[in-house]
Chain A
Amino acid sequence: MDDNQIIELFFRRDEQAIYETERKYMEMCCKIAFNILNNNEDCNEALNDTWLKVWNSIPPEKPKNLPAYLTVIVRNASIDKYRKNMSIKQLDNDMKATIEEISDIIPDTLSVEKQLENKELINCINDFIETLSKKQRIIFIRRYYYFYSIRDIAEEYGWSVSYITVNLTRIKRRLKKHIEKENLI
């Protein structure tokens, strides 16, 4: 079933929409949730939250690109779950490594929370991504949007781990400078 037909089912409030979405995009969503949560039980909860949120948001929303829309919802649901878990248990997984990498990007004096509501920071990041080469964009998005490990990216694209690591290091440095330059701190 193509994505337009699935969205039509959502608009008709036909529960088959959820079944078709799961059937087509479960693997992609599961991969993102698992990359963040690294735990089957939490992953299932995040996926259930995802399907519910999609059901409640379409309509009125009508995504132009269903899988891209799903990635946003599943990553937010999973990050949310991760936040909750952080307050009650010790976490030690790949996500922690990703978070530590992110701390290299954020200037010390930047409060991201203050930027969540306005568009300046995300516009600045979008402008930065636009300056990257296609390969660098893939590395950046795979690592920090899809939460792939460096080894996963190497496996997926046939690039060497060193190539990816070196590029990530450079991208992080450049992004930090870019944010500082934009004076958002």
Chain B
Amino acid sequence: MIYKNELDFLELLSQIDEKYICEIQEGEQKRKVRIPRFSFALAAAITIMAVLSIGASAAIRYYISHKDNVNHEYHNNQALISELDKRATEPIVCENKHIRMTVDSVISDEIYIRCTATLEGIDNSGKSFISDNLILPEEVDKMTDSEISNYFENNDHDFDQFIPYMIAYSQSGERLTGFNSTSDNMFGKKGDETEATFTFGINKRNLGNDEKVKVECNQLKTYFQEQNAGIFEGMSFELPLKSNFDTLVLQSENGDEIYLSEVCLYENRKAEESEDFNFSVYYNNGESKTDILTGFTEDSLYRLGEVKYVKFNGKRYDPEELIKSSR
């Protein structure tokens, strides 16, 4: 029988040490606060260093920089892109003689910050870095698992050694834990191999009262092998922690809490419950919106100011606090 050896091998794996199975199951239970996944895409726009000076003179209107790249990272989620555009502030740019990094968009709610960034080569070293190390072709979203595997098999790069490695530090200089430091895939731009886009994120739950963090850019390979930033030598920027997307805290009768931001739902339940994902928001005007939990809301943002209650796995959660926001 074809594949007999392979099926025997898979069957044999049923006998692996139970502790490894338990490790996975314990992990499932601990991931109570569900950070929305943003494997290929998600991230968005914000404001960052710049504070709009609204005074006697007219406020400066900013737009998303490198909008094509932001669109790509967010799978052309127009509801989100439109909001990012409205809330855009001056993009953060940092560079050295080789390479320029622009943080094009930031989504920052009470729980998480997600950024998209564009890299552009300035000199030949920077351009080569990008063209040599593009991780995935732009059409990767349409590829099947086996096509992706083939792509990796047939491209002889040590891929994850080259991606940007972003490290955040508190104001007191302490290296932060919980920082999603390894950036996501680097995508190329059709017809232009000197520009690439990628995402990175910060879990805000582990941060103190700092108003901003310092983010240092490193090349993953040189950082670990030679303890230097490689092509990103000397590049860092300050990222404000102030939210640009609102978050609503909701509580059930037994005290379980969930956090609903304009773009995402995060759960933080005390009791062990089934992992069903039935989630609906009910608004004051009688409208409701049912959504899946993972990832960003696809069609429209949640109108937090109008939420009457939400139902999550059959349990009702009522607004516990006014909207938490610092916009």
Contact = CB atoms under 8 A, between A and B. Distances in A.
A72 B136 CA distance: 36
A94 B20 contact: no
For B13, B136, B184, B275, the residue with the greatest tally of chain A CB atoms inside 10 Å of its CB is B13
Contacts of B135: 162
Interface string B180-207: 1010110000000000000000000000
Contacts of A134: 23
B16 interface: yes
Contacts of A154: 37, 39
Contacts of B294: 155
B274 interface: yes
Which secondary structure dominates chain B's binding surface? helix
Nearest to A110: B5
Interface in B101-124: none
Contacts of B16: 122, 125-126, 129, 141, 145
Interface residues of A, number: 60
Contact of A150 (B136, B148, B274): B148
B11 A116 contact: yes
B15 A158 contact: no
A18 interface: no
A111 B5 contact: yes
Given A97-B146, A112-B12, A165-B148, A141 B153 contact: no
Given A67-B25, A125-B12, A113 B3 contact: no
Contacts of A68: 18, 21-22, 25
A65 B22 contact: yes
Given A158-B37, A161-B39, A112 B9 contact: yes
B7 A79 contact: yes
A11 interface: no
Contacts of A86: 1-3
Given A67-B25, A129-B20, A162 B185 contact: yes
Contacts of B182: 163
B23 A137 contact: yes
B152 A166 contact: yes
A140 to B, nearest CB: 9
B286 interface: no
A89 interface: no
A155 B39 contact: yes
Interface string A118-138: 000110011001000010011
A162 B159 contact: yes
A122 B160 contact: no
Contacts of A155: 37, 39, 294
Interface of A: 24, 27, 64-65, 67-68, 71-72, 75-76, 79, 82-83, 86-87, 94, 97-103, 105-106, 110-113, 115-116, 121-122, 125-126, 129, 134, 137-138, 141-142, 144-146, 149-151, 154-163, 165-166, 169
